[in-house]
Amino acid sequence: MEHADTDPLAARRRRVLVTGAHGQLGRALQEAFADEDVLALGRGAWDVTLPPPELPPPPPSLVLHAAAWTDVDGAEADPQGAAAVNVGGTMHAAELARAAGASLVAFSTDYVFDGERREPYVESDGPNPLSAYGRTKLQAEGAAGEDAWVVRSSWLFAEQGTNVVRTMLRLGAEREEVAVVDDQRGCPTYVSHLAAATRELVDGDLPRGVWHLAAKGDCTWAEFAEAIFEQAGIACRVRRIGSGELARPAARPAYSVLRSERPGAPQLPHWRDGLRECLARIDR
């Protein structure tokens, strides 16, 4: 076995700390940085509402903060709980990065926008979150600090975890028809594409601050569900409904397509390509 101190490659590898390591994005980040010295911390290893634990040396040179409260409806009932994770957790991640002299990437969301526009949101557009979740994520962007990369993305899906692709595959196998909202438009983004774009941002040492990194193209949830059934070969009809029919606790933006206006912004593949790649890797 080769030891780190005799392995010339090990010396060049960065210690990359991933928080929320068992989430959809946390797993994809581990894959995208697999050639580095990744320290992956799930909630059991670090509950980010608490100060950082003692870490094994060496200190990280990069912190990828993927831990978050992502239950959008649940945040309406427990906004303090959501804030403790999203705002408090990001403050702790920033503290850790500062103490280690590491760079920080914090992830944020299209739900910081109110969705009143009908053309893509760019980084300089003013946020105005409609939900408790969106408010905590906007505050978290501030908590990340000016030296962080703040990556806003949208409608994440992956082969594991809780997401619309997995939900539709399950429902499509059980039912002949599903009702899906057709009055919210966004960019369904495959986490592996987001993780690769994040790596491009970091490795290219692009300027810090807010970046919009989301899949090319846009659609409504109903259009996305139709594409899932079509690509997966499932004969299930999609009945298009309005958000009002679902009466969910949290309001969502009607339009939250994200694009970057920043020079050199990493470009992600189209959401249909992300869906194809995800379905090819998913356990069915």
Active site amino acids: 133
Report, in Å, the least distance between residue 91 CB and ligand NAP: 13
* Under rule CB under 6 A, residue 48 binds ligand NAP: yes
Q: Return the residue of 15, 16, 18, 22 that touches ligand NAP, per CB under 6 A.
A: 22
* Under rule CB under 6 A, residue 154 binds ligand NAP: yes
Q: Return the residue of 18, 20, 38, 213 that touches ligand NAP, per CB under 6 A.
A: 20
* Under rule CB under 6 A, residue 153 binds ligand NAP: yes
Which listed range, 8-16, 45-53, 255-263, 267-275, lies at the site for ligand NAP (CB under 6 A)?
Answer: 45-53
Which listed range, 74-82, 152-160, 260-268, 275-283, lies at the site for ligand NAP (CB under 6 A)?
Answer: 152-160
Report, in Å, the least distance between residue 79 CB and ligand NAP: 15
Structure tokens at 9: 């490659």
Pick between residue 13 and residue 81 the one whose CB is nearest to ligand NAP. Answer: 81
Q: Return the residue of 16, 25, 105, 112 that touches ligand NAP, per CB under 6 A.
A: 25
Give the DSSP letter string of 94-127.
Answer: HHHHHHHT-EEEEEEEGGGS----SS-B-TTSPP
Report, in Å, the least distance between residue 174 CB and ligand NAP: 23
Report, in Å, the least distance between residue 85 CB and ligand NAP: 4
Pick between residue 138 and residue 236 the one whose CB is nearest to ligand NAP. Answer: 138
Structure tokens at 191: 């986490």
**Which regions of the chain does DSSP assign to beta strands (E)?**
15-19, 37-41, 62-65, 103-109, 149-153, 156-157, 177-181, 185-186, 189-190, 209-212, 219-220, 237-241
**Residues 92-111, mask of contacts with ligand NAP (x by CB under 6 A):** ---------------x-x--
Q: Where do we find the tokens 């010295």?
A: 37
Site for ligand NAP in 217-256 (CB under 6 A): none
Residues 6+ apart with CB under 8 A from 239: 177, 178, 179, 180
Residue 6 β-bridge partners: none
# residues near ligand NAP by CB under 6 A? 26
Q: Single out the residue of 185, 183, 82 nearest to residue 135, CA to CA.
A: 82
Distance linking the first and last C-alpha atoms of the chain = 38
Residues 114 and 129: beta-carbon distance below 8 Å: yes
CB 89: neighbour CB atoms within 10 A? 26
Pick between residue 15 and residue 22 the one whose CB is nearest to ligand NAP. Answer: 22
Q: Return the residue of 59, 161, 209, 217 that touches ligand NAP, per CB under 6 A.
A: 161
Site for ligand NAP in 50-89 (CB under 6 A): 66-70, 85, 89
Pick between residue 85 and residue 238 the one whose CB is nearest to ligand NAP. Answer: 85
Residues 6+ apart with CB under 8 A from 53: 45, 46
How many helices and strands (H and E) does the chain possess?
10, 12
Residues of the shown chain interacting with ligand NAP in the complex, contacts defined by CB under 6 A: 20, 22-26, 43, 46-49, 66-70, 85, 89, 107, 109, 137, 153-156, 161
